[in-house]
Amino acid sequence: MNTFSVWPGLANYLTRAVDRHEPFVLLDSWVEGDQSPQTHGSSYLGLFPKELIIIESSKSGDGLSSLLDVASSWGMGMVGYESHHHKFGLDVPTQGDPQVWWIVPTTVLKFDLNSSTIEVELDEEGRAQEVIDELSAEVDSTQKTKSINKIIDWSSIEYKEYIKCIKDIKRAIFEGDTYEVNFTYPMRTTLQRHPIEWGETLLREAKVPFSALVHAVQTPGQASSLDRMVISASPERFLKLEGRTLSSEPIKGTLRRDDSMSDAQLKEALKELDSEKNRAENLMIVDLVRHDFHSVCEPGSVVVPELFKKRSFGTVHQLISTIQGRLPHGVGWIEAFESCFPMGSMTGAPKRAAMHLIDKLENEPRGIYSGAIGYCKPNGDVDFNVVIRTVIIDLMTQEARYHVGGAITSDSDPASEWDETKVKAQLVDKG
């Protein structure tokens, strides 16, 4: 169960918001337990901005300085992969997605998924009850989303070009330039459905804890070349700060989920997920995140409470580890974010060397992909995902793209790495 099944009217409400060109952020949560799907945590909807902060690609590269004045307010939005490039000696793209898109909302609703209720977190303009009434009035009349079986025609990198890039990375690894690189490529198609209808379908299919729907417009009611609709079915947490406890949950290791398997077949398949290769990739990123945490957390506070934890989602099984640390008094979420961004699982290690190789081999900017989507609260708590398994729609051109990739190490088999990207692409193979 996720937000949509608890409050079916939400899909219709967001559809109208998109049609009116109104910005919003929905952060949706879904966690599957060992025995059966179960709700977990909360989802948030941010509406009616009193401020929109948008940093286009050509003016980015210096991190989150644009958010310093609103860091202690309710805020929700996205940070792009190239937003901190100057820190790593890299040039920023001259065009593409906005690298920072941030809404300071006047209305925030919290969906309690256990009690199936809506709580008002923020209501500066007195509009929260109006929205709740509109959502609730449509619960009985909203029909269930139908399964879509049409195969979408995606274009992407050619197999030969992909194999060449992987071989180039392996050559760099053998020459000692780096020891792990996360190489990615975009798939593209033309938008064929209303983005909210598509988003609801994908999030139902994915069943992941860090989903998001972001209607990232530059000016409410007015079209712009920077306008994006982002459908993120991410299973990965980049950074959570609760009180002074900082957490990250990097993913390395992916296996296609097949519910037709018998218990014995599944047990055998999960051995592949827990392979020496996947553990090695995961451990490299754990070490990188620990290094990032050590640069901002109290000495001696960084720990790894979970290593190589197997978790299942709607279409994949993943190998996930958890790193935690404690921030010193006086250190806020922006300092923690900038110490750890971009996330090691999307770069490789060492981070700087891997990013320079990515910049050389990938033929276009990542933009929003590989960045982070999340929120900050007035008390300083934050939670951000890693932007993977994400459809990014250019609302002006109606082009949709979906990036896939994986970690390349010295023992990576190029053909197998290609196959793994196809596993990650299966979420969007059907529209």
Residues 288, 289, 291, 297, Cα dihedral to 10°: 180
In the numeric block, which tokens belong to residue 384? Answer: 């951000």
Give the C-alpha separation, 218 to 23, whole Å.
8
Active-site annotation holds for 277: no
How far is Cα 48 from Cα 227, in angstroms, rounded to an integer? 17
Residue 387 phi/psi, 5-degree rounding, is -80, 85
| Cα 188 to Cα 260, 393, 399, distances in angstroms | 30, 10, 7
Q: Quick check: helix, strand or coil at residue 351?
A: helix
Say how far residue 354 (Cα) sits from the centre of its chain: 20
Of 66, 63, 6, give the one whose Cα is nearest residue 37.
Answer: 6
| DSSP code of residue 7 | -
Buried b (16+ CB within 10 A) or exposed e, 397-428: eeebbbbbbbbbbeebebeebbebbebbbebb
Q: Which of 82, 236, 249, 417 is catalytic?
A: 236
Amino acid at 368: I
Nearest-5° Cα angle at 282, 162 to 310: 110
Residue 53 vs residues 69, 189, 219: alpha-carbon distances, Å: 11, 29, 11
What amino acid occupies position 224? S
Determine contact, residues 399/393, Cβ cutoff 8 Å: yes
Can you say how many angstroms the Cα of residue 184 is from the centroid of all Cα atoms in its chain? 15
Contact between 354 and 347 under an 8 Å Cβ cutoff? The reply is yes
Active site residue 252: yes
The type of residue at 412 is S
Name the active-site residue from 170, 252, 377, 424.
252
Looking at the annotation, which residues are catalytic?
Answer: 236, 252
